[in-house]
Amino acid sequence: MIYLIVLAIIGCMMMSIITLFLPTWKEQNLSFQNFLFLGISYIVIMIGFGLLYVLLELEGVPILIENGEVFTGDFFDYLFTGIYFSGITLFSVGYGDLSPVGFGRGIALVESWLGYTIPAAFVVKTFLMDKNS
């Protein structure tokens, strides 16, 4: 069951990313609608990765350490911490209070790469694409 949930989360995040590259925008310049779309894409990705961290932690896979020790807590602690870590990773803040371990390092690497490349894709889509395409 958990694998189906993980696949659904990854599917939602992938659709959000793919939509960024599809020629569906009516306006090719900066507008509130395009800015809102970028914000929603970031939120979907942040919550999606946060839920992946939570599900893996609940399955017993250590993903995060806090102050040198494996993070522990109840479901809501995992949820808030997973989304918090996802946000600081996606936006490349990295306060240092939480660190990924094991499989979590790879997930955090992919998330930080997405956080770094999505603004570039937004700029290309908004300003540089030919209006006739």
Determine the 3-state secondary structure of 70 from DSSP.
strand
Number of domains in the chain: 1
Instruction: Please give the average per-residue pLDDT across 17-24, as a whole number.
Output: 71
Structure tokens at 82: 């997973």
CB of 56 closer than 8 Å to CB of 103: yes
Residue 19: inside a domain, yes or no? no
Looking at per-residue pLDDT, the higher value among 16 and 86 belongs to: 86
Domain that holds residue 102: 2-10+28-128
What pLDDT is stored for residue 4 in this prediction? 87
Residue 97 belongs to some domain of the structure: yes
CATH code at position 61: 1.10.287.70
Chain-centroid distance of CA 119 in Å reads: 13
Whole-prediction pTM value? Answer: 0.84
Domain-located, residue 124: yes
Is the pLDDT score of 85 beyond 60?
Answer: yes
Q: Is residue 133 part of a domain?
A: no
Q: Does the residue 85 lie in any domain?
A: yes
Residue 105 belongs to some domain of the structure = yes
**Radius of gyration of the CA atoms of the chain, in A:** 16
Q: What is the pLDDT of residue 90?
A: 93
Residue 15 lies in a domain: no
Distances (CA, A) of 8 to 12, 37, 38, 80: 6, 21, 21, 20
pLDDT digits (tens, 9 = 90+) for 46-71: 999 999 999 999 888 889 998 888 88
